Structure 1
């Protein structure tokens, strides 16, 4: 017959353990970030336990590390296959894929991530952290407190109740890359689908040049520049810069910017691209429910 004292002690231990683990599963955690003068969100992250500085980039699609940082990590397993994608400007990129053990941002850890390596000089930046790490993890970008908060099942209902919910459209490519978009109305004329790109910087509004005529943009008086690709200097992108009267979230008219300078880009593969900072000081994303919630 079992010892009743031992049984009660064991039961009490399991009960306390259940309470502790339940509290942990509902506890929010966060990481601080720095905002560069250009408006890029820079976070500390660890890949295979090695820490670096990364841009938190919702438009990257695929997590990227520099060759210099990969040398610090050591050899990563290279997959046999590759991945071909197109940059927003239409520039074709074919990259090798590598298996890592972990990507960690504070207490949040993604196991067995897939990433790519580029031999490119990004200065003090070691790479880009993409949305692929957060397919199952809701998170909030808080510009006021400069935090990325990892939300829980307990925290999300209050956020939805307090904020404006905007439907997202996800573009997931072969389980290797993930980006998100939403619908915006430009100049009260065109309803266009814009990629939401935290990696673009601050106050960035890029529109496909095919809409120049419909939006009444005078290209003769607009400034015109050619920007070389940082991956291939031989590739130039032609950009016209002109003002637009307004860009408004289709679902929530209160989310709007007025009289902003936009870049009209030849060959853009999207209707448009917008940065995140103007949408709200606190924006929550839930990829599973395809929602952006703006407080």
Structure 2
């Protein structure tokens, strides 16, 4: 039975947002602001949604003030902001009290296709959503769709993290170690194919913190969800980062009001019409 808290986080009708592949490793979504459509990376680990200075000018915003955030390596980012924006997509209106103004193209490889910004979980605050990376969909759940969605899913413990004075929103998932619980960011924007582990936890994952090349590791998210693959160790300000490779096999449903989450393993496609790369990603350990 769904509690009042869940009901408050659920829409009356489910809305599915179609996502588009970007540079073969991450996904984007289209949204309209003040009558102008933009193309934005969708990034569960982005924290605060951002738009470019050019897009801010297009929609009639004059950036002001300052927002300060930190990347997982501790690098400080200072940027201006636009307030009270509404992103319209697939019939849904997503309200953003504060959006950063930062030129994302300067953070991407030279020659990367144009983006107008990056949208994170902050614009879905208070809602229940499902991210299906392989299916290229992002669903705002209704009461009925939520019941169906979690019927066969496994609940996992998470923390909702609100950095940048409460503006940002990300999800950390629990990972048991021999010394206690580690908390790793779930980051669809990390399309590099490797897990990232803090150097101070390297021994807990049988990794050499002095090696620069990727190393094999295997562990479980609390609840028995397996994670396996290549990992690098870095000097981080958080325990670790689980990236897009994991989401190719697991569908994430998260209640951003109550702070609960569920994972459902995606079935490997048997249809020969599926691209070989999709089948390989499904069959390869997360």
TM-score, normalised by the number of residues in structure 1: 0.75
Instruction: Give structure 1 stretches of 5+ with no counterpart.
Output: 1-24, 223-239
Residue 94 (structure 1) shift:
1.9
> Within 5 A, what are the aligned runs for 1:120-159?
120-121=104-105, 122=108, 123-159=113-149
Is 1:103 aligned with 2:99? no
Is 1:244 aligned with 2:216? yes
For residues 96-143 of structure 1, the C-alpha deviation after alignment (integer angstroms, 9 at most, x for no partner) is 221143112221112353111113525411111011111122111123
Structure 2 counterpart of 1:265: 234
- Pick closer, same or farther for the CA change 1:168–1:276 going to 2, 3 Å: farther
Residue of structure 2 aligned with 1:291, choices 260, 270, 284 = 260
Query: How far apart are the structure 2 equivalents of 1:208 and 1:249?
Result: 16
Query: How far apart are the structure 1 equivalents of 2:166 and 2:29?
Result: 24
Structure 1 counterpart of 2:169: 178
Bigger shift: 127-136 or 146-155? 146-155
Q: Is the 8 A contact 1:143 1:277 kept in 2?
A: no
Residue of structure 2 aligned with 1:92, choices 72, 76, 85 = 76
For residues 58-95 of structure 1, the C-alpha deviation after alignment (integer angstroms, 9 at most, x for no partner) is 11111111122223223x1545x422221111011222
Q: Is the 8 A contact 1:189 1:215 kept in 2?
A: no
Residue 189 (structure 1) shift:
7.6
**Partner SS for 1:278:** helix
- Pick closer, same or farther for the CA change 1:183–1:241 going to 2, 3 Å: farther
Residue 264 (structure 1) shift:
0.5
- Report the RMSD for the aligned CA atoms in angstroms: 2.3
Query: How far apart are the structure 2 equivalents of 1:82 and 1:184?
Result: 34
Residue 262 (structure 1) shift:
0.6
- Pick closer, same or farther for the CA change 1:273–1:112 going to 2, 3 Å: closer
For residues 171-227 of structure 1, the C-alpha deviation after alignment (integer angstroms, 9 at most, x for no partner) is 1133311111011246x787421011111126331011122345443456x3xxxxx
Query: How far apart are the structure 2 equivalents of 1:243 and 1:117?
Result: 36
Query: How far apart are the structure 1 equivalents of 2:104 and 2:82?
Result: 17
Structure 2 counterpart of 1:4: none
Query: How far apart are the structure 2 equivalents of 1:73 and 1:192?
Result: 41
Q: Is the 8 A contact 1:169 1:180 kept in 2?
A: yes
> Within 5 A, what are the aligned runs for 1:1-295?
26-74=12-60, 76-79=61-64, 81-111=65-95, 113-121=97-105, 122=108, 123-173=113-163, 174-185=165-176, 191-201=181-191, 203-218=193-208, 222=211, 240-251=212-223, 253=224, 255-258=225-228, 260-266=229-235, 268-279=236-247, 280-295=249-264
**Partner SS for 2:213:** strand
Instruction: Give structure 2 stretches of 5+ with no counterpart.
Output: 1-10, 265-286
Q: Is the 8 A contact 2:122 2:167 kept in 1?
A: yes
Structure 1 counterpart of 2:277: none
Query: How far apart are the structure 2 equivalents of 1:120 and 1:179?
Result: 19
Query: How far apart are the structure 2 equivalents of 1:159 and 1:219?
Result: 39
Q: Is the 8 A contact 1:205 1:275 kept in 2?
A: yes
TM-score, normalised by the number of residues in structure 2: 0.77
